[in-house]
Amino acid sequence: MKRMWNMMGLVFFLGMMLLAMDSLAASAGAQGVKAKESMFSLIMKGGPVMIPLGLASVLALALAIERSLSLSRNRIIPPGFMDSFKTIMSEDPSGKKAIRFCEEHRGPVGNIFKSGLQKLGKGDEALEKAVEDAGFRETDKMKRSLRGLSIIVTVAPLLGLLGTVYGMISAFETASSAGVGKADVLAKGIYEALVTTAAGLTIAIPVLLVFQFLNNRVDTIIDKLDEMGIDFMRHCTEKTESQGKE
């Protein structure tokens, strides 16, 4: 079910970008610039700035797919991890087998539990601090992994605006060279200049939606890791107390 939702999110992302570009081309044709403006010809009118915008769109798609797969809950928190961990701890309270188990499940939850196990027997405060520090590091890693999408959301509209400014300069220069009464030349130049702004927004809006979607997923995973961390410390404390009574 989760994989299906991931794929639906990616399809929505692609659909938004294609629909926006198609709408842009259709509106350009409706304004009478041409009888029918193709998407490719419209992109070509944007000038050199469309190259980094195109690269940004490809990079955003790659990042969206990679992050969507890497940040899936089953990858970060393997199913049945906590139950298996408790079983191993009951068999070997020293934590040696549990450390090996965590090393076999490399990932945020494995790294957090391993850090706690290494402080086992050194007091509750040391155990708690180790789990908190490891949790903070893993949380920061997951948050930082989304910075690429955040940068594209910020830069794409700015690139589009930059292309429009250059296009407007060129349009007014061409219009002034053409002389008085050449409003059609200026209008065409402005129309072509606005293509980059439209392209920048077309890229930024779907990427922003994907970024927020993945960011919310990370927050949900962090909440679950926090619950597991509390359960882990409680379990280790109970094991330590039972060993002391024996």
**pLDDT tens-digit profile of 73-106?**
888 888 888 888 888 888 887 788 988 998 888 7
Q: Give the Cα separation of 222 and 3 in Å (integer).
A: 19
**pLDDT tens-digit profile of 4-49?**
445 445 445 555 554 554 554 454 444 444 434 566 676 677 778 8
Q: Note the pTM of the prediction, 2 decimals.
A: 0.75
Q: Give the Cα separation of 246 and 121 in Å (integer).
A: 15
**pLDDT tens-digit profile of 183-208?**
666 777 777 788 889 899 999 999 99
Residue with tokens 């980059």: 196
Per-position b or e across 130-162, b if 16+ CB within 10 A of its CB: bbbebbeebbeebeebbebbebbbebbbebbeb
Q: Give the Cα separation of 96 and 102 in Å (integer).
A: 10
As given in the structure block, the two tokens for residue 99 are: 């450390």
Report CA torsion sign: 73, 75, 77, 80: positive
Largest CA distance in the chain: 100
